[in-house]
Structures are given as structure tokens and as C-alpha cells.
A and B are shown apart, each in its own frame.
Chain A
């Protein structure tokens, strides 16, 4: 576990979480959520949880983002808040 790397990753995760709920464009929010999942997955790799990391990368960042993009394309892209 490398401390500066860990702190930078934690910061990025936090920024992505804040950005994902602030952005008004839903497609951007969903893509930022995918980036959040990938940063989370890096964080787990360096916490020595490799199995959780690649499950997160394939399932949550992959399938989850695809499902969200599908749902946004079926509904409206603009959000009021």
C-alpha cells in the first residue's frame, strides 16, 4: 500500500462521486459514475483485494454503465437538478 497513491485515488473517488450527482446531463453523470467505479477498483487493487477489483471492473463499471446508458437512452437525457 503506497500512501500518496492511495490519497490521490481517494481524492479522485470523492471528486467523481460529487461530480456524478451534480452534473445535470444524465449521460455525463453515468459516464462519471463509470469512472468512479474504475477508481474504486484501483483502490481495491492496492488494498490487496484483487478478486473484488476485477469483479468490480467487469460487473459494476462494465455492465452497470451499459445498463445506465441504455436506461438514459430510453428516457430523457436532461435532468432539472
Chain B
């Protein structure tokens, strides 16, 4: 049981980081702080997905070694070279998270633009002051 907890430490770090980001989004009053919290939250999720792609025992980058080796001399067919999948990290989460990083920066840009517009209108970035100004009309 203890061994299980220790060997999956990446996932505990993921939970911690995600909660740090969540706390910043919920409890901080400054809008830029909220946006920073959102960034931390998103990269924690990406961290989780990349962690799922790692295999036990020192995997390497998912690039096929000896992919173009000619086997004509051995009399083997093309593609007869066996690929040992356990040597490589799983590339599927990498590709998915590549998209997620770009989406993350797009969200960041839109959020910052909205924050700048709010600052121009209410002349403050603190949430409680903005709500007070909104109530006053």
C-alpha cells in the first residue's frame, strides 16, 4: 500500500498543483491572480496526462530506432524488424497535450484581454471593488 502511494508520486503532485490553482481561482480577489491560478490548473492537468504516458524502466523518446534498416541482405521482408513497444513512451497523450498547450495560451490571451477591458471600465482589478461598483450602478 505504502509502495503504491510512493511509486505514483506524480499523481499526488498533480493533485496538489491542481488544488493550488483551484484555490487561486476561487479565493484570490485580484483578476490577474485568478488568471495565474487558471494557468497553473491547466498545466497540472497536462502534467497528469504526460505522466500516464511514462512506462516503467527508463523509456526513451518515441522515435523508432533502426526504422529504415534494410534487411535485404538477411533475406527478410521490409518491416520484419520487430518494434519493442516497451522501450518507448506512449506518444498518444503527448499529441493530445500539444493541442491542450496551444488552447491554454489562447485562453490566457482572451482572459487577459477581458481583464484589461474591465480595468479600463472600472479602473481596478480587485473583484470586490468591481462588484461594489456594479451594485452602485
- Shortest beta-carbon distance from A52 to chain B in Å: 5
In the complex, chain A residues whose CB is within 8 Å of the CB of B20: 14, 17-18, 21
B interface with A by C-beta (< 8 Å): 9-10, 13, 16-17, 20-21, 23-24, 28-30, 32-33, 35-37, 39-40, 43, 46-47, 50-51, 53-54, 58-62, 88-89, 93-95, 97-98, 101-102, 104-105, 108-109, 112, 115-116, 119, 124-126
Enumerate A38-81 residues with CB–CB distance to B below 8 Å. Answer: 40, 43-44, 47-52, 55-56, 59-60, 63-64, 67-68, 70-72, 74-76, 79-81
Contact of B53 among A17, A49, A67, A75 (CB under 8 A): A49
In the complex, chain A residues whose CB is within 8 Å of the CB of B62: 48
A interface with B by C-beta (< 8 Å): 1, 7, 10, 13-14, 17-18, 20-21, 26, 29-30, 33, 36-37, 40, 43-44, 47-52, 55-56, 59-60, 63-64, 67-68, 70-72, 74-76, 79-81
Complex: A71 Cα to B110 Cα, angstroms? 11
Complex: A21 Cα to B53 Cα, angstroms? 29
Tell me whether B24 and A74 are in contact (CB under 8 A): no
